[in-house]
Amino acid sequence: MAGADVDVGTELRLGLPGGGAEAAKAGKRGYEDTIDLKLTLPTGGMQEDSAGKPEPAADKAKRPAEAAAADPEKPPAPKAQAVGWPPVRSYRRNAMTVQSVKIKKEEETEKQQPAGAAAGANGSNFVKVSMDGAPYLRKVDLKMYNTYKDLSIALQKMFSTFTATGNEGKMVEAVNGSDVVTTYEDKDGDWMLVGDVPWEMFVASCKRLRIMKGSEAIGLAPRAKDKYKNKS
Amino acid sequence: HCSPSARPRSSSRAMSEEDEDQAGAPPKRPRAASPPPPPPPPPPDQVLDNVLETVLQFLRAPGDRGAASLVCRSWHRAESATRASVAVRNILAASPARAARRFPNAHHILLKGRPRFADFNLLPPGWAASAFRPWAAALAAAAFPALRSLSLKRITVTDDDLDLLARSLPPSFRELSLLLCDGFSSRGLASLASHCRGLRVLDVVDCELNEEEDDEVSDWVAAFPRGHTDLESLSFECFTPQVPFAALEALVARSPRLRRLRVNQHVSLGQLRRLMALTPRLTHLGTGSFRPGDGAEDEGLDFGQMLTAFAAAGRANSLVSLSGFRDLAPEYLPTIATVAANLTSMDLSYAPVNPDQVLLFIGQCRSLETLWVLDSVRDEGLQAVAMCCKKLQVLRVLPLDAHEDADELVSEVGLTAISEGCRDLRSILYFCQRMTNAAVISMSHNCPELKVFRLCIMGRHRPDHVTGEPMDEGFGAIVRNCSKLTRLSTSGHLTDRAFEYIGNYGSSLRTLSVAFAGDSDLALQHILQGCSKLEKLEIRDCPFGDAGLLSGMHHFYNMRFVWMSGCSLTLQGCQEVARQLPRMVVELINSQPEIEKTDGVDILYMYRSLEGPREDVPPFVKIL
């Protein structure tokens, strides 16, 4: 089996409002040598902005950058966003997220093959993504992404709307800052932690994604290790 | 005699948000005090009443109808009996029974639900989830026996509601339009298709359908009755699952009256070509993905074939509106140039078109009146639009990447170009990262016909990026110079001075949206005391408190609603409003129900109502 080329730097955190980098580190990490793929979602910026004092945009950008500086290998945390700002409907946001990743991909392909027209991805691999507490499912096309990092950025954008708003109180306890992790169901029907295997293998075997509470995911990792150890 | 339908038919209804709000008195207004009992009236002059009714039928504009109904009792009676188009712009403001008593001959009913800021996730789901239930029940019980057409906007409609309607609406029922609705799925659509005989219009636009497992999705397209259908318009661009193409093709083939067809993103280019061949007289086409697929319909598809398909549509001269392009394969974009000359409306807002691609067809778009694009077209693309589309009236430039720190793609350069090229501009929505007062001032001078000006500088509190000054002068110029302005959305760094201008000059403003702006209560005072025609006020994250709110007490009954979120209101201030205005429903909403909020008001949403506070109130809502 090809060596697990997954870059350690793809570790991302899913921090709920109130949870920061520190809380995530304190969270459940039972298996040192698996990559914990956690998504960082932007913290709801409403409380900060309700004072409404004019503040240069540059200062705003500094704050979350400082929070992320603790772990330089992680992708920079997105700037603290206000809920529902800019005022664009989530359907449109999601549609555009998929599009803009695709364009970047096409631009890269064009640079490599100037003669051929970028035909875009052949086929697609839409899988359902559910997040515990979110009122409805989403879908992502795994063929749109090249790395776990791209996927996590897309999922962040897709689900950022859910972390800051109510959802009828079914949201995971935000105040504890407990982690959520991303898991996927593979072809055999087993639920695995995302990030365990090389990206291509993941895309080939992933059937659906689920973002769940860290506490519920604790039992998954050994199966991933054993499963792929035996196959190699 | 038969009364003509009073509903204006707009060419692309989904895009006519700017036009829907009509001036004048609302259909129903709570009276502050009841008038003294009149002396016994003389016996009604039957002939005069008939004449009145016949004449009033020709009165179409909602404003005129509202004014006519206030003249005297007999005019009120005659107007109510002849009103064909009934708009309940807040379904919480009036009950279906009341509406049915007053307007028994309604042919078309428009119902609007949630406030607009709910679109941006500011309102928790379930806020008024069962508001439509009594309406569904009333409609099913034939409260409006002459009903032909129903339009719902921002309303939660369940599959059961749709099923009930489908089975019980009168045979005269022809048209259903669901805009920005949610709560239903393919099952509801299947009910409509199978039970609503004679359905002519089924438009499902920008709705958020309930997600279904693949094997649960109903084939609603196949549920339409066998034999010819009366379908004139079928729109399902927001329908997320795939629709079996064979069923869709068969439906289109047996719908000879079909003039408007807008399909979802799963319809490939080859499939689109097949559908276009079946509908030579289409006026509105939603093109689906606009990319070749893998199926049989796309085998051997090439540029030439698509060019031929559009050329045929061009010869028929009927196509006026194009939308879709949900997964645009840019090499096929030039094929639309053959129909471009006749187009009045184009929606490319899901297609990341770059300036070079714009140039491939924009030169032909001489008749274009409505254009929606992404900012991927950049300033250069907008300059091309300004040069070619001299008849442009409505422009939307939406962000490819809707984040405050996204790349800057359009700027004041594009706005200035548009203002210089498109002098007939009525309505603009412009997202950007940077703007200058000079460009906005320039637009205020160049485009005197402006009715809607919505500028969204995505970075909060951003000043004029050249001078560093607040954007006060720019917005001030807009309200001062655009005398027809009815709708304004502000952004960028604004001080109280901007609102002083708005209050002083915004005498025709009906809708105002303010976000992250102002210094103090003075700003809100300017608005409420200055804008005498203000009907809808949406404010978020501004430093406005009780003093500002209370300065509008004299005016609130004239308004449809006030929304204030993330401001500095207190419970006491809101209670004072509720106390002085008993017909106002004052809702305090907690946008994050899982976090207990004890101090301050999170969201204030208040609206006048004839029915008093509603009963189905979720736990995160408190009605004072």
DSSP assignment string, chain A: -------GGG----PPTT--HHHHHHS----TTS----PPPPPB-HHHHTT-----HHHHHHHHHHHHHT-TTSPPPPPPBPTT-S---HHHHHHHHHHHHHHHHHHHHHHH-SSS-----SS--EEEEEETT-SS-EEEEGGG-SSHHHHHHHHHHHHHHHHHS-GGGTS--TTTT--EEEEEEETTS-EEETTSS-HHHHHHHEEEEEEEEGGGGTTTHHHHHHHHHHH-
C-alpha–C-alpha distance, residues B558 and B533, integer Å:
8
Asked which of A211-215, B19-23, B35-39, B583-587 is least confident by mean pLDDT, the reply is B19-23
C-alpha–C-alpha distance, residues B568 and B541, integer Å:
9
Q: Which residues does residue B539 pair with via DSSP β-bridges, in sequence order?
A: B514, B564
Residue A40 lies in a domain: no
Tens digits of per-residue pLDDT, B424-459? 999 999 999 999 999 999 999 999 999 999 999 999
Asked which of B238-252, B373-387, B597-611 is least confident by mean pLDDT, the reply is B597-611
Answer whether B125 sits within 8 Å of A135, measured CB to CB.
yes
Residue A92 lies in a domain: no
Q: Average pLDDT, stretch B373-379?
A: 96
Best residue in B119, B121, B407 for a mutation probing chain A (most A CBs within 10 Å): B121
Tens digits of per-residue pLDDT, B410-420? 999 999 999 99
What's the whole-number average pLDDT of chain B? 90
Length of chain A: 232
Its domain, for residue A211, covers 124-166+174-217
Residue A62 lies in a domain: no
- Return the ∠ at Cα B603 (arms to B600 and B609), rounded to 5°: 120
Percent of chain B scoring above 70 in pLDDT: 92
Nearest CA in chain A to B212: A137
DSSP B420: H
CB B343 within 8 A of CB B371: no
B124, B352, B517 member nearest A165 (Cβ): B124
Q: Contacts of residue A96 in chain B, CB cutoff 8 Å?
A: 350, 352, 374, 399-402
Q: How confident is the model at residue A187 (pLDDT cuts 50, 70, 90)?
A: confident
Best residue in B540, B544, B567 for a mutation probing chain A (most A CBs within 10 Å): B540
**Is the predicted pLDDT of residue B11 greater than 80, yes or no?**
no
**Is the predicted pLDDT of residue B166 greater than 50, yes or no?**
yes
- pLDDT at residue A227, as a whole number: 56
Answer whether A92 sits within 8 Å of B543, measured CB to CB.
no
- pLDDT at residue B78, as a whole number: 83
**Is the predicted pLDDT of residue A25 greater than 70, yes or no?**
no
At B95 the three-state DSSP class reads: coil
- pLDDT at residue A94, as a whole number: 81
**Which of A100, A105, A101, A134 is CA-nearest to residue A118?**
A105
Domains, chain B, ordered by start? 47-83 (1.20.1280.50)
**Is the predicted pLDDT of residue B474 greater than 80, yes or no?**
yes
Tens digits of per-residue pLDDT, B429-438? 999 999 999 9
**Is the predicted pLDDT of residue B235 greater than 80, yes or no?**
yes
CATH of the domain at A186: 3.10.20.90
Q: B199 versus B68: which is more confidently predicted?
A: B199
Q: Is A189 on the interface with B (CB under 8 A)?
A: no
- Residue keyed to tokens 């320039």: B442
B211, B400, B462 member nearest A57 (Cβ): B462
Q: Contacts of residue B352 in chain A, CB cutoff 8 Å?
A: 96, 99-100, 103
Q: Which residues does residue B429 pair with via DSSP β-bridges, in sequence order?
A: B396, B454
Residue A84 lies in a domain: no
**Which of A191, A181, A123 is CA-nearest to residue A152?**
A181
Answer whether A88 sits within 8 Å of B402, measured CB to CB.
yes
Q: How confident is the model at residue A106 (pLDDT cuts 50, 70, 90)?
A: low
A50-83 as b/e, with b when 16 or more CB fall inside 10 Å?
bebebeebeebeeebeebbeeeeebbebbbbbbb
**Is the predicted pLDDT of residue A221 greater than 60, yes or no?**
no
Q: Is A227 on the interface with B (CB under 8 A)?
A: no
Q: Helices marked H in B230-268 — which ranges?
A: 245-253
At B501 the three-state DSSP class reads: helix
Q: B30 versus B34: which is more confidently predicted?
A: B34
Asked which of A78-92, B31-45, B449-463 is least confident by mean pLDDT, the reply is B31-45
Q: Which two tokens stand for residue B489?
A: 């959305």
Q: Is A225 on the interface with B (CB under 8 A)?
A: no
At B397 the three-state DSSP class reads: strand
**pTM beyond 0.80, yes or no:** no
> Is cis: bond before A86, omega within 30 of 0?
yes
**Is the predicted pLDDT of residue B277 greater than 60, yes or no?**
yes
Residue A13 lies in a domain: no
Q: How confident is the model at residue B45 (pLDDT cuts 50, 70, 90)?
A: low
Percent of chain B scoring above 90 in pLDDT: 78
Tens digits of per-residue pLDDT, B59-100? 888 888 888 888 888 888 888 888 889 999 999 999 999 999
- pLDDT at residue B42, as a whole number: 56
A100, A139, A169 member nearest B593 (Cβ): A169
Q: How confident is the model at residue B41 (pLDDT cuts 50, 70, 90)?
A: low
**Is the predicted pLDDT of residue A53 greater than 90, yes or no?**
no
- pLDDT at residue B199, as a whole number: 95
B122, B352, B593 member nearest A100 (Cβ): B352
Q: How confident is the model at residue B27 (pLDDT cuts 50, 70, 90)?
A: very low
Total count of domains within chain A? 1
Q: Contacts of residue A86 in chain B, CB cutoff 8 Å?
A: 399, 402-404, 431, 456, 458
Q: Average pLDDT, stretch B283-290?
A: 96
Answer whether B402 sits within 8 Å of A96, measured CB to CB.
yes
Q: How does strand A180-186 pair with strand A138-141?
A: unpaired
Q: How many CB atoms lie within 10 A of CB B313?
A: 23
- pLDDT at residue B173, as a whole number: 93
Q: A188 versus A44: which is more confidently predicted?
A: A188
Q: Contacts of residue A137 in chain B, CB cutoff 8 Å?
A: 211
**Is the predicted pLDDT of residue B148 greater than 80, yes or no?**
yes
DSSP E strand boundaries for B375-441 = 394-398, 427-432
Tens digits of per-residue pLDDT, B521-541? 999 999 999 999 999 999 999
**Is the predicted pLDDT of residue B153 greater than 80, yes or no?**
yes
- Residue keyed to tokens 């720190």: B405
Q: B238 versus A82: which is more confidently predicted?
A: B238
Answer whether B326 sits within 8 Å of A123, measured CB to CB.
no
Asked which of B118-122, B263-267, B434-438 is least confident by mean pLDDT, the reply is B118-122
C-alpha–C-alpha distance, residues B116 and B94, integer Å:
19
Nearest CA in chain A to B432: A86
**Which of B139, B146, B144 is CA-nearest to residue B167?**
B139
- pLDDT at residue A188, as a whole number: 81
Residue A118 lies in a domain: no
- pLDDT at residue B251, as a whole number: 97
C-alpha–C-alpha distance, residues A119 and B203, integer Å:
32
What's the whole-number average pLDDT of chain A? 58
Q: Is A43 on the interface with B (CB under 8 A)?
A: no
Q: How confident is the model at residue B579 (pLDDT cuts 50, 70, 90)?
A: very high
Residue A115 lies in a domain: no
Residue A189 lies in a domain: yes
**Is the predicted pLDDT of residue A179 greater than 50, yes or no?**
yes
Best residue in B454, B491, B516 for a mutation probing chain A (most A CBs within 10 Å): B516
